[in-house]
Amino acid sequence: MAYARVPDLHTVAPGPQARELIEVDEQYVSPSYTRFYPLAVKRGEGLALEDVDGNVYLDFTAGIAVCATGHCHPRVVAAIQKQAAELLHICGADFYYPPLKDLARKLAQIAPGPSAKRVLFTNSGAEAIEAAIKVARYHTRRQHIIAFYGAFHGRTMGALSLTASKVNQRRRFEPLMPEVTHVGYGNCYRCPYNLTYGTCGIGCVSQFEEKLFRTTLPPEEVAAIIVEPIQGEGGYVVPPPEYHPRLKALCEKHGILFVADEVQSGIGRTGKMFAIEHWGVEPDIVCTAKGLASGLPLGAMIAKDEIMDWPPGAHASTFGGNPVACVAALETIALVEEGLMENAAAVGSLLMERLRSLQSRHPFIGDVRGKGLMIGIDLVQDRTLKTPAPAERDAILQKCFARGLVLLGCGENSIRLCPALVVTPAEAETAVEILEAAMVDCGL
Ligand SMILES: Cc1ncc(COP(=O)(O)O)c(C=O)c1O
């Protein structure tokens, strides 16, 4: 069913059906979920989301960068249906089956860099990070991990120990995994070291040797630096061109593994299969999930062959690499390679251009940044002082929703745009028009 108009609203949300649904949900579902507005979804197709009351929304979140091929892409659905009728589960940790070996080979081939790779399958992004922590410790026989302020790597205890995005995510959960050090990320818009790009000498990387490794952390005790090529939950922050190559060189010098968390940025979203390719760096380990299987739960930890030297029994998961999720991933990657990655780059540039033009008209847009379809808009009260404007950001998101555009925030005060890779130029134009109208609604 193709929708004639998107968005197409008939009731103010929540409509009667949504109200009923939400009432039950609120009684039984964990209050730790962060629902930002009352959207109760019944069906999805491409970028269209139909709610339980028949309202149709334009979705620029893709289930938080998950539905890479759009909601219910017919080829992905057909692959899932065929596999579901053949074999639902058998456990890849104990048995062999075609989709698991096909996907492992495919991921090993598309992972950045020429080295041979191996794959361990998981059910989620956090689990892929857990696997990376474990294999890094196992291989290097070192314990320490370095991560970054603003990072989000998941909520399981190991991944949470690296996450440093919002204090709510950590409050009262300590003690977490020991031997973790956080440092400032390569954020040139809000440099954690108060430096200015161009004259800074990439101080965010040189500080490792100038300070950290001299004072508190012996580099030979560090197993891995785990980094998002583009910080996601932290605000869609894109570090400068020198950043990842310099970090990688630092890792090589000290025998530290470079782990790229591509859970949000991977699988074509930024216009490259993996975002780290924009920086020309081959990571030692890549973690992926989210968009990998277009909505089925699947993650993967892809490591250089020489690093994955752990023995049978060292790590595995019952459901990780489930056959149905594997075929969904194979079809997703095929679609991404057949044109969706180029579309992400092309529509991403169009969006960027439109948003920069919006920025020229609206002084409270401090920064527009991103690559491909991973775009952040940083809202500020004052462009010179860059004072974050979280309340205004939230108000704009609510107004967008009221006008039929589904968007979410990231970081303290940014709006994130991460539509499915099938987004058309016309849908991008509609989203920007609604966004501007929402800003005007807010008196901004
Ligand atoms: C960069 C990154 N890493 C890890 C995760 C955790 O993934 P999951 O929610 O599938 O555990 C996320 C989720 O948002 C993420 O954005």
For residues 364-386, average pLDDT: 97
Query: What is the per-residue pLDDT for 146?
Result: 98
Residues 43, 58 within the same domain: yes
Query: Is residue 187 one of the residues assigned to a domain?
Result: yes
Cβ–ligand 1 contact at 135 (below 6 Å) = no
Q: Is 250 helix (H, G, I), strand (E, B) or coil?
A: helix
**Token reading at 178:** 């020991």
Q: What is the pLDDT of residues 380-391, one digit of tens each?
A: 999 999 999 999
Query: Is residue 405 one of the residues assigned to a domain?
Result: yes
Last residue of a domain, one of 286, 301, 336: 336
Instruction: Report the alpha-carbon distance of residue 332 to residue 342 in Å, rounded.
Output: 14
Residues 196, 141 within the same domain: yes
Residues 169, 316 within the same domain: yes
Cβ–ligand 1 contact at 264 (below 6 Å) = yes
Residues 251, 353 within the same domain: no
Query: What is the per-residue pLDDT for 137?
Result: 98
Residues 216, 234 within the same domain: yes
Last residue of a domain, one of 336, 355, 390: 336
DSSP state of 311: P
Q: What is the CATH number of the domain that holds 328?
A: 3.40.640.10
Angle between helices 98-110 and 323-335 (to 10 degrees): 40
Q: What is the pLDDT of residues 7-55, one digit of tens each?
A: 999 999 999 999 999 999 999 999 999 999 999 999 999 999 999 999 9
pLDDT exceeding 70 applies to what percent of the chain? 100
**Token reading at 195:** 């430096």
For residues 308-334, average pLDDT: 98
435 has a pLDDT exceeding 90: yes
Query: What is the per-residue pLDDT for 32?
Result: 97
Neighbouring CB atoms inside 10 A of 131's CB total 25
Residues 37, 185 within the same domain: no
Cβ–ligand 1 contact at 152 (below 6 Å) = yes
Q: What is the mean pLDDT of the chain?
A: 98
337 has a pLDDT exceeding 90: yes
Query: Is residue 7 one of the residues assigned to a domain?
Result: no
Phi/psi-derived region of residue 415, left when phi > 0, alpha when psi is between -120 and 50, beta in every other case:
beta
Instruction: Report the alpha-carbon distance of residue 128 to residue 121 in Å, rounded.
Output: 7
Query: Is residue 33 one of the residues assigned to a domain?
Result: yes
Ligand 1 pocket, mutate which of 129, 152, 288 (most atoms under 8 A from CB): 152
Query: Is residue 98 one of the residues assigned to a domain?
Result: yes
Instruction: Report the alpha-carbon distance of residue 265 to residue 229 in Å, rounded.
Output: 8
Instruction: Report the alpha-carbon distance of residue 282 to residue 259 in Å, rounded.
Output: 10
Query: Is residue 6 one of the residues assigned to a domain?
Result: no
Whether the CB-CB separation of 280 and 245 falls below 8 Å is answered with yes
Instruction: Report the alpha-carbon distance of residue 275 to residue 283 in Å, rounded.
Output: 11
| Cα atoms found within 13 Å of the Cα of residue 204, Cβ hemisphere only | 28
Ligand 1 pocket, mutate which of 64, 122, 148, 153 (most atoms under 8 A from CB): 153
pLDDT confidence of 2, banded at 50, 70, 90?
confident
Query: What is the per-residue pLDDT for 354?
Result: 98
Q: Is 235 helix (H, G, I), strand (E, B) or coil?
A: coil
Ligand 1 pocket, mutate which of 129, 264, 296 (most atoms under 8 A from CB): 264
Query: What is the per-residue pLDDT for 442?
Result: 95
**Token reading at 74:** 């017919």
Whether the CB-CB separation of 442 and 364 falls below 8 Å is answered with no
Residues 79, 59 within the same domain: no
Instruction: Report the alpha-carbon distance of residue 387 to residue 15 in Å, rounded.
Output: 37
What range does the domain containing 46 cover? 16-73+339-441
Residues 230, 142 within the same domain: yes
**Terminal-to-terminal C-alpha distance of the chain:** 37
Q: What are phi and psi of 288, to 5 degrees?
A: -135, 160
Residues 280, 347 within the same domain: no
Instruction: Report the alpha-carbon distance of residue 422 to residue 427 in Å, rounded.
Output: 10
Cβ–ligand 1 contact at 420 (below 6 Å) = no
Cβ–ligand 1 contact at 125 (below 6 Å) = yes
Query: Is residue 403 one of the residues assigned to a domain?
Result: yes
Q: What is the pLDDT of residues 190-219, one digit of tens each?
A: 999 999 999 999 999 999 999 999 999 999
Last residue of a domain, one of 336, 351, 372: 336
Q: 128 CA distance to ligand 1 centroid (A)?
A: 9
Cβ–ligand 1 contact at 228 (below 6 Å) = yes
Total domain count, the chain: 2
**Token reading at 106:** 């495919």
| Cα atoms found within 13 Å of the Cα of residue 431, Cβ hemisphere only | 32
Q: 245 CA distance to ligand 1 centroid (A)?
A: 23
Query: Is residue 198 one of the residues assigned to a domain?
Result: yes
Q: What is the pLDDT of residues 227-278, one digit of tens each?
A: 999 999 999 999 999 999 999 999 999 999 999 999 999 999 999 999 999 9
Instruction: Report the alpha-carbon distance of residue 266 to residue 285 in Å, rounded.
Output: 13
Whether the CB-CB separation of 377 and 366 falls below 8 Å is answered with no
**Token reading at 207:** 């500080």
Residues 245, 292 within the same domain: yes
1 has a pLDDT exceeding 80: no
pLDDT confidence of 157, banded at 50, 70, 90?
very high
DSSP state of 310: P
Element containing residue 348 per DSSP (H, E): helix 341-361
Nearest CA residue ID for atom 7, ligand 1: 125
Residues 202, 316 within the same domain: yes
Q: Rounded to the nearest 10 degrees, how much is the dihedral formed by the CA atoms of 236, 241, 247, 250?
A: -170
Question: Three-class SS string for 45-69?
Answer: EECEEEECCCCEEEECCHHHHCCCC
Instruction: Report the alpha-carbon distance of residue 411 to residue 276 in Å, rounded.
Output: 21
Q: What is the CATH number of the domain that holds 62?
A: 3.90.1150.10
Q: What is the pLDDT of residues 66-77, one digit of tens each?
A: 999 999 999 999
Instruction: Report the alpha-carbon distance of residue 384 to residue 380 in Å, rounded.
Output: 9
Q: What are phi and psi of 336, to 5 degrees?
A: -65, -45
44-53 per-residue burial string, b: 16 or more CB within 10 A, e: under 16: bbbbbbbbbb
Residues 67, 112 within the same domain: no
**Token reading at 329:** 């991933």
